[in-house]
Amino acid sequence: MSFTHTVFDFDGRIGRLTYLLYSILNWLVTAVLIIVGLVLTKPGLTVIPGILLVFAAMVSLTWVSLALIVKRLHDTGHSGGHALWIVLLAILAVATTFSNPVLAFVLLAAIVGIFCWLAYAPGDEGRNLFGPAPGGPPPASVGN
C-alpha cells in the first residue's frame, strides 16, 4: 500500500504498527505546521497566512486521522463508520476544554483508550469483508 493510499484513502486495511507510526507522524507534522502558523501570526506580521496554515493543519490532521482509523477498524472487522463518532469525541474534547474541563478530560481519556485499542488490538487473520490482511501476499495481477 502506497503512502498516499495509506494516509488519504478510506478503503483497505492497515496493521497495528502502520497505524501507530503513521498516527505519530501525522501528529508531529501537524504540530510543526501549527507552530509555524502561530509564529506567522505574531504582531507586526500578516495574520492571514498563519491562520490559514493552522486551519490547513487541522483539516489535514482530521482527514488523515479518519483515513487511518477507518483502515484500522477495517482490519479488526469493524465498519469504518465508527470513525465518525471517534472523531466527534475528539472535536468535543477540544470544544469543551475551557467551558467544561472535567468533561474534556473524560473525553480525552476515552480518546486515548480508543487510540490504544486501535494500536494494540490484533486484526482479523486472513481476508475479511474489507480486504486481505495487511502484510500478506499482494493480490494477483490480472493478465499476467
Residue 36, pLDDT score: 87
Mean pLDDT of 7-30: 93
Domain carrying residue 85: 3-120
Q: Is the pLDDT of residue 72 over 70?
A: yes
134 found inside a domain: no
126 found inside a domain: no
82 found inside a domain: yes
Q: Is the pLDDT of residue 120 over 70?
A: yes
Q: Is the pLDDT of residue 143 over 70?
A: no
Mean pLDDT score across all residues of the chain: 88
140 found inside a domain: no
Mean pLDDT of 50-71: 91
104 found inside a domain: yes
The SS3 of residue 77 is coil
Overall number of domains in the chain: 1
Confidence band of 29 (pLDDT split at 50, 70, 90): very high
Q: Is the pLDDT of residue 144 over 60?
A: no
Rounded to whole angstroms, what are the CA distances from 45 to 31, 39, 40, 57, 101?
Answer: 21, 9, 7, 20, 33
Confidence band of 121 (pLDDT split at 50, 70, 90): very high
Rounded to whole angstroms, what are the CA distances from 129 to 10, 68, 79, 115?
Answer: 14, 17, 9, 22
